[in-house]
């Protein structure tokens, strides 16, 4: 049964507006704080092993209404555990590679790789728990939790850390061939009793969620719980990482601060919050 059949249906139209990569760089952290205090941002997803994670946590502690979740990094980023503990996963500098297809096969077929993956996922949950911040949600860098092995480990380990919500990275206009897989992920979350959004906005426009893209999305919001996610940062410098060379971080921050975007959210009748707010009845009952 889904929440709708259990009587825990959330608000008819709700929006969770999330900044990913919280902790990656002080420029990201500054943008998150500005967009939450002066704009429409309601949530942020923390990279616990990233260079500016401590600064992100300090800022989050000053922002009690900002809902913070765990942005698990299992590709193209830093691990919590050292190379000596997870040599099948990271290089000598403790960084995951970017070949997700290869790693996906290894996660599925190689037991020793799965065991190390479980160690790292647990370590990232543990690092988040040590911040003392309430765990609003969990998602993964580059949506790696769409991999069945990764999702299984997250569901098993996350339960021990009070995980109550996970991002479902499904865009309403996703291609037909992707829909059966998303339905399987949705069903697994429902069976596990884990709350999730109904759809996201941000995959097709990753790094390009400027004011025009936000307004376009807000003009045709489906019913249900939507999550708009983005990658804002202040404009002091170039690309945050080589993979982000085309990202327009400052434009995304401007969109989150835009009065026109705030007015469009109000006009859409969408209530803003984090997962804990949108699914408050469910979270309290669990």
Q: What is the pLDDT of residue 200?
A: 97
Query: Which residue stretches of the chain have pLDDT < 70?
Result: 1-11, 281-286
Sequential DSSP letters for 211-261 = HHHHHHHHTTPPSEEEEEEE----SSSS-SSGGGTT--HHHHHHHHH-HHH
**Nearest Cα residue to 43 out of 182, 139, 120:** 139
Category of 258 on φ-ψ map: left (φ > 0), alpha (ψ -120 to 50) or beta: beta
How many structural domains compose the chain?
Answer: 1
Q: What pLDDT does 238 receive? A: 80
Which pLDDT belongs to residue 235? 85
Q: Which two tokens stand for residue 91?
A: 């290089």
pLDDT at 6: 39
Instruction: Render pLDDT for 164-193 as a digit per residue (tens, 0 to 9).
Output: 999 999 998 888 999 999 999 999 999 999
* Domain, as residue range, for 28: 3-285
Identify the pLDDT of residue 11: 52
**What confidence score (pLDDT) does residue 172 get?**
86
Specify the CATH number for the domain of residue 132: 3.20.20.370
pLDDT of residue 3: 41
């Amino acid at each position: 049964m889904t929440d709708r059949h259990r009587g825990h249906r959330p608000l008819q139209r709700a929006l969770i507006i999330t900044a990913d990569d919280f902790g990656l760089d002080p420029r990201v952290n500054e943008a998150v704080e500005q967009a939450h205090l002066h704009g429409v941002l309601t949530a942020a997803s923390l990279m616990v092993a990233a260079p500016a994670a401590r600064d992100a946590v300090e800022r989050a502690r000053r922002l009690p209404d900002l809902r913070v979740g765990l942005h698990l990094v299992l590709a193209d980023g830093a691990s919590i555990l050292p190379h000596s503990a997870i040599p099948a996963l990271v290089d000598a500098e403790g960084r995951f590679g970017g070949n997700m297809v290869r790693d996906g096969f290894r996660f599925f077929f190689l037991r020793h790789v799965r065991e190390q993956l479980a160690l790292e996922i647990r370590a990232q949950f543990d690092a988040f728990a040590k911040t003392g911040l309430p765990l609003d949600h969990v998602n993964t860098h580059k949506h790696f939790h769409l991999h069945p092995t990764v999702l299984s480990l997250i569901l098993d380990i996350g339960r021990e850390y009070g995980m109550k919500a996970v991002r479902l990275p499904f865009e309403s206009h996703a291609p037909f061939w992707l829909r059966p897989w998303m339905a399987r992920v949705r069903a697994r979350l429902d069976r596990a009793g884990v709350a999730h959004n109904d759809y996201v906005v941000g995959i097709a426009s990753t790094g390009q969620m400027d004011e025009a893209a936000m307004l376009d999305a807000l003009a045709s919001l489906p019913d249900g719980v939507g999550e708009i996610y983005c990658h804002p940062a202040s404009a002091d410098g170039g690309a945050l990482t080589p993979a982000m060379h085309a990202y327009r971080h400052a434009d995304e921050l401007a969109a989150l601060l835009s009065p026109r975007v705030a007015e469009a959210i109000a006009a859409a009748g969408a209530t803003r919050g984090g997962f804990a707010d949108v699914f408050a009845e469910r979270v309290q009952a669990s």
